[in-house]
Amino acid sequence: MSNTPYLFENLRIRKLLIIAVSLIAAIILATPSWAETTATASNAAQEVDQAWWLWPIILLAVTFVMGILAVLGGIGGGVLFVPIISGFFPFHLDFVRGTGLMVALTGALAAGPSLLKMNLASLRLAMPAALIASISAIFGAMIGLAIHTEIVHIALGVVILVICIVMITARKSEYPVFPHADRLSSAMRICGIYQEVSTGETIDWKVHRTPLGLFLFVIIGFAAGMFGLGAGWANVPVLNIVMGAPLKISVATSKFLLSVTDTSAAWIYMNKGCLLPLMVVPSIVGIMLGSFVGVRILKITKPTVVRWIVIGLLAFAGVRTLLKGLGI
């Protein structure tokens, strides 16, 4: 009897995820450019001399593994998806980036409401950053679709290698300590209180260096829109290390931020016909199923080992993408 509420909650979450995937598929199918993108995909499939149905099955299998690694490595699925799929699959980079945004967006939308309900994601902290990042994500998406694919490949390879360096060198602080909040955060009332369940403490938090943090979100949003990566890899270090928000608040607010930032960029890719259901649906389903499995594996594995595997995989994919852009 004691497990009944937990089972109901799980069923409810799964139903919401199924509804979200169905809505995404319906929106894409209703897009006027659907016929064009389907024709483009069919031509691409003929060029590589493979049956059209083979690629969705391969994508489902690969993204399932990505979903597991993303949970164990503590990164977003979009960060793994774009460099690996663009580097080793015959899909055009525009389709890969559009799908990468939808993958990151689905995970954020699934987690966002629960994090807000638990008082871990802060609206006061998220909304100024989300506004800035969304605007720059729109410009990033427009510029990314306008410039030559080879240039984007080179830039993406460099960004992926930078992400690897950030993952290796970043030192997260659970409860950053600093004297006082800055004037801007005080004026915007960016602060809060949350209950730390593991210790029973009540944490009263605030932030500082707000102008620098908001400026960095301009760059983060631009990169998220241009490369379709999502931005969780950069959101957490900026919120936690630069602005001084507690680690749990930073992680939860980052998830909520993704749901706003990636939506802005995703509409640009959708409007340009760069969302292909044959890629989007199996990728989202694969990442979701892999995430469910990853959460269970996380209990019995060492996250540090997996994190180094993820970094190695990202570095390899980044080098491969860079060389692809250089024509090597």
pLDDT per position as a tens digit, 304-315: 676 777 778 778
Q: Is the pLDDT of residue 9 over 60?
A: no
CA-CA-CA-CA dihedral for 30, 36, 41, 44, to nearest 10: -170
Residue at 162 is within a domain: yes
Q: Are 83 and 156 in contact (CB under 8 A)?
A: yes
The answer to whether position 216 is within a domain reads: yes
- 46 in a structural domain: no
Residue 49 lies in a domain: no
pLDDT in tens, 279-298: 999 998 988 888 778 767 76
In a domain, 152, yes or no: yes
Is residue 45 a part of any domain in this protein? no
48 falls within a domain = no
Structural domain range at position 121: 4-40+55-325
Residue range 218-251, pLDDT digits in tens: 998 998 888 887 777 788 888 888 888 888 888 8
The CB-side HSE value for 307 (13 A sphere, CA atoms) comes to: 14
DSSP β-ladder status, 201-206 and 191-196: antiparallel
The pLDDT score that the predictor gives to residue 138 is: 92
How many other C-beta atoms are found inside a 10 Å radius of the C-beta of residue 201? Answer: 11
Q: What is the total count of domains within the chain?
A: 1
Q: Which of 248, 263, 261, 191 is nearest to 220 (CA)?
A: 261
Say which amino acid occupies 200. G
Quickly list DSSP for 128-195.
HHHHHHHHHHHHHHHHHHHS-HHHHHHHHHHHHHHHHHHHHH----SS---S---HHHHHTT-EEEEE
